Amino acid sequence: EVQLVESGGGLVQPGGSLRLSCSAPRFTVSTNYMSWVRQAPGEGLEWVSIIYSGGSTYYADSVKGRFTISRDNSKNTVYLQMNSLRAEDTAVYYCARTNWNALRGAFDIWGQGTMVTVSS
Amino acid sequence: EIVLTQSPATLSLSPGERATLSCRASQSISSYLAWYQQKPGQAPRLLIYDTSNRATGIPARFSGSGSGTDFTLTISSLEPEDFAVYYCQQRSNWPPLTFGGGTKVEIK
């Protein structure tokens, strides 16, 4: 069954912005730690950002100052606002639940991914 | 930043054979290590968390071991559906949360 649904990807020019969304039909995002993980074409996995249940946020150095993670509890949705996009941000972006305590920080639920392409 | 180095990059094996995948951390990460399986066009799937605990629904042929800096994922007898890319991931010392570069298990 689908547990995370991402949307918002697409083609954007360098320097542009995009906002990704991640909704969770089957659990409450505000009581969980939620992350974004990306995967460039043909490459491995790279953690991008996390938002704690308490609201604290953290970022990879590669996106710090350009990307912002947030959530809307009323919509049970997590967002990734991406500004000043670069070619190297081109990737599939996955939303993932980060099971911090019970599973010691493992990503136990993943979305299907949304493709972001930064190109002129 | 903790760097995770996976080896080998590619493992060529036949169905029924045993697969042994390695993940080495640049410093001790206690037991905060997870393993994922990823097939082409799909999201990763959690296999193992906290070094040796199988995630829900993961077959018993998958096992994890190790501590400190050296970790192993073992697939006792490869099934056709096990040919995929495998990643390790740590959360001991962060940010950032980090992944290894991956090991591709391919059919020989």
Rounded to the nearest angstrom, the minimum Cα separation between A72 and chain B is: 24
Distance separating alpha carbons of residues A106 and B10, to the nearest angstrom: 24
Summarised one tens digit per residue, pLDDT across range B78-101 is 999 999 999 999 999 888 999 999
Q: How confident is the model at residue A76 (pLDDT cuts 50, 70, 90)?
A: very high
CB < 8 Å to A33, chain B: none
CB < 8 Å to B32, chain A: 104-105
CB < 8 Å to B99, chain A: 44-47
CB atoms within 10 A of CB A26: 10
Distance separating alpha carbons of residues B101 and B9, to the nearest angstrom: 8
Interacting residues of B100 by C-beta distance below 8 A, sequence separation 6+:
A44, B4, B5, B6, B23, B87, B88, B89
Summarised one tens digit per residue, pLDDT across range A11-41 is 999 999 999 999 999 999 999 999 999 999 9
Q: What is the reported pLDDT for A101?
A: 84
Interacting residues of A10 by C-beta distance below 8 A, sequence separation 6+:
A18, A115, A116, A117
Reply yes or no on whether the pLDDT at A72 is more than 90: yes
Summarised one tens digit per residue, pLDDT across range B50-59 is 999 999 999 9
Interacting residues of A101 by C-beta distance below 8 A, sequence separation 6+:
none
Q: b/e per residue, B26-44, with b = 16+ CB within 10 A?
A: eeebebbbbbbbbeeeebb
Q: Find, among B89, B33, B95, the residue nearest to A56 by Cα.
A: B95
Summarised one tens digit per residue, pLDDT across range B26-55 is 999 999 999 999 999 999 999 999 999 999
